[in-house]
């Protein structure tokens, strides 16, 4: 039977290559790897029977498993051990970011913020947001790749495109809205207590309107700047994630 152990760091049996398998493909000690992960396993990494693999399910579990063999287009594995919350931060950070004119810049936000440990990403439309369409499936796929690359076992959810006016009143936990004209900077040394839920909101290239700032303040948000220099939206999102998660 597989053993369950709490997070103790990366065991020797776990390599650097992670494979993502959703919980629906994990049945007790048996794991079935299909689709793109199967192709990567067999055609790129050239794994064979008897090899030890590191498998993450996106919900907080990392497994060491033995590859038993191939059944059609499915790799059959057996779980040897499990680690909970491997390489996950103690703070749960939700990041709301207005979608950007250049789609590749939002791609960068999703990739880097997943690597840093963000738990949920909410694409937003504010009054000055220019594009009004989102590439949710693409961003979720980017998050999968970044989760595996960074050695995480929780897959950040990329939420549906959401209006700023609807999202801001509903957000919970410690809430931080970034604005270049705010009098108070987000302190570089600030670290939320372990277990804290923190939500950060980043606006579009044109910034938030005065009405949006007022609505956030009325809903209990703290308004902070990132310092003296004005940052691009994607830079502000990544730097905020670094400040709140590094060391967590």
Q: Is 65 within 8 Å of 48 (Cβ atoms)?
A: no
| pLDDT for position 91 | 95
Give per-residue pLDDT as tens, 49-73.
999 999 999 999 999 999 999 999 9
193 compared with 14, residue with greater pLDDT: 193
Domains defined for the chain, CATH in brackets: 3-84 (2.40.240.20), 92-245 (3.40.1280.10)
| pLDDT for position 129 | 95
Give per-residue pLDDT as tens, 25-39.
999 999 999 999 999
Confidence of residue 7 (pLDDT cuts 50, 70, 90): very low
> Is the per-residue pLDDT at 175 higher than 90?
yes
């Amino acid at each position: 039977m597989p053993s369950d152990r709490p997070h103790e760091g990366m065991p020797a049996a776990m390599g650097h290559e992670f494979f993502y398998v959703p919980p629906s493909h994990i049945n007790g000690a048996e794991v079935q790897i299909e689709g793109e992960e199967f192709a990567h396993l067999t055609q790129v990494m050239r794994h064979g029977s008897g090899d030890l693999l590191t498998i993450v399910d996106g919900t907080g579990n990392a497994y060491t498993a033995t590859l038993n063999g191939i059944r059609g287009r499915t790799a059959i594995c057996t779980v040897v051990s499990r680690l909970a919350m491997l390489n996950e931060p103690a703070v749960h950070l939700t990041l709301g970011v207005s979608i950007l004119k250049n789609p590749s810049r939002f791609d960068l936000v999703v990739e880097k913020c997943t690597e840093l440990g963000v738990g949920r990403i909410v694409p937003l439309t504010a009054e000055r947001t220019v594009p009004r369409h989102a590439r949710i499936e693409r961003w979720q796929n980017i998050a999968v790749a970044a989760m595996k690359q960074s050695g995480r076992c929780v897959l950040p959810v990329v939420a549906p495109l959401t209006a700023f006016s609807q999202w801001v009143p509903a957000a919970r936990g410690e809430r931080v809205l970034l604005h270049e004209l705010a009098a108070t900077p987000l302190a570089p040394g600030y670290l939320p207590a372990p277990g804290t839920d923190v939500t950060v909101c980043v606006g579009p290239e044109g910034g938030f309107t005065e009405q949006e700032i007022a609505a956030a303040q009325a809903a209990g948000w703290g308004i902070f700047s990132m310092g003296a220099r004005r940052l691009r939206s994607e830079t502000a999102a990544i730097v905020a994630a670094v400040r709140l998660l590094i060391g967590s």
